[in-house]
Amino acid sequence: MEVYTTDSSDTDSREQKTLDYGRMNLIDINLEDDLHSDAKISIKSIKDIEILLLNHNRLTRLPRTLRNFLSLRVLDLSSNCLRELPDIIGQLPLITLVAKNNQLTNKSLPKSFIIKNQISSLKELNLSGNMLTHFPEQVTELKNLRYLYVGGNQICSISKDIWRMQSLQVLSVGGNLLTDVPDTVGLLSQLQALVLCDNLIENLPTSIARLKNLKSLLLHKNRLKHLPKDIVALKNLAELSLRDNPLVVRFVQDMSLNPPTLMELAARIVKTAAVSVEPGDLPQTILDYLSCANCCVNPQCKGVFFDNRVEHIKFVDFCGKYRVPLLQYLCSSKCIEHEVPTRPQTNGATRGYMMRKVLLG
C-alpha cells in the first residue's frame, strides 16, 4: 500500500490535515452530525483535510458532506457495512481509496472513478473482501493506478481490457473464482507483483513471460498441472509460490535446451581445464566473458556455464512438512540427479548460489 504523505515533514501539520474516526463504532447518523459540529470545524477546516479515516465502524452509507472534502487524498472505508460507493467518490482528488471488507457489489460501485475528460489521480484502489461477482470494468479507465486489490470476492474472470492500466505495479485477485487468465495480462509492462492464489486456474497464458519486471507470482491453491515453459525467462522473479497445485514435475524437465555456442564451449574448456590466461592474451571482451562463469550446483560436477544452462526443479523435504521444489541451474542435463527419498532437512536446499526458491512455505 502506498502511504500518502504531505510535503511537510512536520507531524503537527499532518495531524491537522487528518480526520480520524476509525474504530469508533459509528453509525451513519452520528457521523453526519459530528462532521457538521461547530467544535470540529473550528479545529480543522474541512477543505484542508487530506486524510479521512472511517475504518472499522458500522457505516452502511457515506455522509453527503463527503463532497465538501475538496483536498482529500486518502480515504479509508475498510471494515464497515457499506452497500454502496456513491458517484461523488470519482469527483474527489484521491490518491488512495481503501474500501475492503464491506458489502459492495458491482452495481453499488461508482459508474466511473474519474471526472469526465479528466485524468484520475488515484494510485491505489482496494476493493478486497466484498461481494463483487465480476471484474469492475470501470477501473480499467484508471491510467495512473499502481496498486489494485480485488481479492476475496467472487470474480470469475479478469477483464481483457486490463492491458489499458499501463501504470499497474501490483494486481491482486487472489481468493476469487477465476478459471483462467487473459493473454492481455502479459501487456502490463510495469507489473511487479501478480497474486492469483486461491482460485480455480488450470492454465496460465504464455504471455506471462513478457512481464519482465515481475518479482512476485503467487499461484498457490489453484488447479495448475503445468506452467508455461517460458516462465523461466522472468529473470527478476524472486518469489514463485506453487503449493497446493497438482503440478507435474516434468514441466521443467521437458524444457528444450538450446545448444551452447562455440564461444561458450571454448570458454567452458578454458575454465574447467584451468588454462592460464593473462591480460593481453585475449581481447578484453573475451576476458570479461570468462569472468562471468557460473558453477554448476551439482556437487559431483566441476563444470561451469555462461549463457547456456539447464533449468531443473528438484524437490526437497523442508522441515519434514513440505516437498519444496527448487529451481536449479545446471551446466548439462547429465547433471540432473535422480530423485531418491531423503530424510527431512532444513538446510539441504541452500547449496549453490545460483539456486532460487520457487515455492515459499
- What is residue 337's predicted lDDT score, i.e. its pLDDT? 65
pTM above 0.75, yes or no: no
Residue showing cell 524472486: 238
Q: Write down the pLDDT at residue 148.
A: 98
Residue 161 DSSP SS3:
helix
C-beta separation of 277 from 290 below 8 A: yes
Strand partners of residue 195: 172, 218
pLDDT of residue 52: 93
What's the grid cell of residue 40? 470540529
CA quadruple 279, 282, 285, 289: dihedral, nearest 10: -90
How buried is 316 (Cβ within 10 angstroms: 0-12 exposed, 13-18 middle, 19+ buried)? Answer: buried
Q: What residue type is assigned to position 318 of the chain?
A: F
> Which of 188, 175, 142, 134 minimizes the C-alpha distance to 158?
134
Q: How many CB atoms sit inside 10 A of residue 181's CB?
A: 22
Report pLDDT for 119: 83
Q: What is the pLDDT of residue 227?
A: 79
Give yes or no for a contact between 35 and 58, defined as CB atoms under 8 angstroms apart. no
Q: How far apart are CA 292 and CA 304, in angstroms?
A: 10
Measured in whole angstroms, the distance separating CA 347 from the mean position of its chain's CA atoms is 28
CB 52 within 8 A of CB 19: yes
The pLDDT of residue 233 is 78
- CB-facing half-sphere around the CA of 123: CA atoms within 13 A: 8
Phi-psi region of 260 (alpha: psi -120 to 50; beta: other; left: phi over 0): beta
Q: Dump pLDDT digits (tens) for 3-33.
A: 444 343 455 566 778 999 999 998 875 565 6
Compute the distance between CA of residue 77 and CA of residue 53 in angstroms, rounded to an integer: 7
Q: For position 215, what pLDDT does the model report? A: 94
Low-confidence ranges of the chain (pLDDT < 50): 1-9, 39, 42-43, 249-255, 317-324, 339-355, 357, 360-361
Spatial distance between the Cα atoms of 341 and 343, rounded to a whole number of angstroms: 7
Q: What's the confidence (pLDDT) of residue 109?
A: 96
